[in-house]
Structure 1
């Protein structure tokens, strides 16, 4: 029996699956801890590069992705373009969390279909709030 089926039969739902595309171990750990604390969300995939993110997205499904713009190799914009080209941004919650919250990036992300764009240094907690709201809506 799958985890989702078992959770449904016991009256609870499996947490929503989140892919975290971030090259900072500190940020990954902080987000994973914060998102997992509610029991409604779980970081089930992590990618540090654009290529790793695309491979992960090709092989698994997620309810939400958190994408950093600047990665060690490649760009979060490449990942978002991939998601857009595959029509995946219509089905999954996409959030950009970056230190490069420039108007040009924000505009391009909106054109691709990204729902939320946050500055890491100013709006870190907003990511958690938005995903908690998303999880509550999906459970209703």
Structure 2
């Protein structure tokens, strides 16, 4: 983590069932100045507990998990007391699925195969823009 002393690092929790993809995400996102990867999970129950325990600011979630789905996790996050920015990063990128993620509580949605760099750029922007962590932001891929 390379966080500036004047601003606390953006705490990112990764939820992805495929270990090599999760490792790539952790390496890429963790290299962003001002971002700290605070936890990882491959299923929704462990993710919820970890998100709460680490006080994550951002959750990056895939749809397919080893137990449960990303959609279930999004619903659970909207029911919890924690205010976390939910970013869906998945291969399921149909218009219907994007809308379903919005309804479930996602703030951002990216196709894992074609928009990974855009997801990284969005997380970097959230880490560095004043007020972005307060869920008052917009973006081209904002759902």
TM > 0.5: yes
Q: Please list every run of 5 or more consecutive structure 1 residues that lacks an aligned counterpart in the other structure.
A: 1-6
- Check whether the contact 2:33–2:124 (CA below 8 A) recurs between aligned residues: no
Aligned twin of 2:39: 45
Task: Name the Cα RMSD after superposition.
Answer: 2.1
Q: Please list every run of 5 or more consecutive structure 2 residues that lacks an aligned counterpart in the other structure.
A: 133-143
- Check whether the contact 2:13–2:58 (CA below 8 A) recurs between aligned residues: yes
Alignment of 1:4-83 (within 5 A): 11-83=5-77
Tell me the matched-pair count: 130
Aligned twin of 1:4: none
Structure 2 CA distance for partners of 1:36 and 1:68, relative to 1, 3 Å: same
Alignment of 1:81-100 (within 5 A): 81-86=75-80, 88=82, 91-100=83-92
Corresponding residue to 1:136 among 128, 131, 137? 128
4+ residue runs over 6 A deviation = none
With normalisation by structure 1, the TM-score equals 0.82
Task: Return the alpha-carbon distance in structure 1 between the equivalents of residues 73 and 131 of structure 2.
Answer: 27
